Amino acid sequence: MNNIVELKNVVKIYHRGDEELHSVAGIDLAVGKGDFVSIVGPSGSGKTTLLNLVGCVDTPTSGTIKIDAMETSRLREKYLAKVRNKKIGFVFQQFFLLPTLTALENVALPALFSEHKAKEERARELLSVVGLSGREHHLPAHLSGGEMQRVAIARALINDPKLLLADEPTGNLDTANAEAIFGLFEKLNQRGLTIIAVTHNMELAKRTKTVRHLKDGRFVD
């Protein structure tokens, strides 16, 4: 009951011509509330596909996925979008900040598609949480890589998600910035946020509460 993510025998098959690619080959996963899970593995091991399935941006070929006790594996896209909006925050390696929006506007962007009120006030608070007070009106072009990822994290939190998914969040950052961003994740996790991060960086992965190793679409630990 305390699991926020539950995957049972989840399979995802892609087709390339006549070939079947088992990107995720029968995975069981349970992530408890407040957990901080890192998923590590070589390229092509199915990390990103797994994150897509958990993040409700893709649906499994078979198996079941529950997010916050809601079965999402068979939901239509319209309802999946609602789940993504209300329950999940996303952080990507490439930040995806809109270049014409200020830091504050970028943070508030996901709230445009939700029922959240007082978006600007909340966005300011979150920028303060990620240590960017005073940078609200800067455009992404005037921010460093570390600062852009902080804005992206603040943006992922705007709708108060129960789950934060991060796909290589430090992949584009130098060591100091990667350290700072991971520190921020740890701080957020200490406040009760559940985090699943896909990473190649074993040093950082070791600092998470749970490390899962993925190879050829299966957990090998």
Minimum CB distance to another protein smaller for 112 or for 202:
112
| Structure tokens, 137 | 């009106």
Within 10 angstroms of residue 53's Cβ, the number of other Cβ atoms is 27
Between the alpha carbon of residue 33 and those of residues 5, 55, 81, 122, the distances in Å are 8, 16, 22, 23
Residue 217 · residue 24 · CB < 8 Å: yes
Q: What distance in Å separates the CA atoms of residue 121 and residue 128, rounded to the nearest whole number?
A: 11
Residues 96-125 contacting another protein, CB under 8 A: 96, 98-101, 105, 108-110, 112-114, 119-120
Minimum CB distance to another protein smaller for 83 or for 129:
83
CA-only gyration radius of the chain, Å: 17
Interaction pattern, residues 6-35, with another protein; x per rule: CB under 8 A: ------------------------------
Minimum CB distance to another protein smaller for 48 or for 210:
48
Please choose, out of 20-28, 94-102, 173-181, 201-209, the segment that lies near another protein by the rule CB under 8 A: 94-102
> In a 3-state reduction of DSSP, which class is residue 63?
strand
The reply on whether position 135 binds another protein by CB under 8 A is no
Q: What distance in Å separates the CA atoms of residue 202 and residue 204, rounded to the nearest whole number?
A: 5
**Which residues contact another protein (rule: CB under 8 A)?**
48, 51-52, 55, 57-58, 77-78, 81-82, 84-86, 90, 92-94, 96, 98-101, 105, 108-110, 112-114, 119-120, 155, 159, 167-168
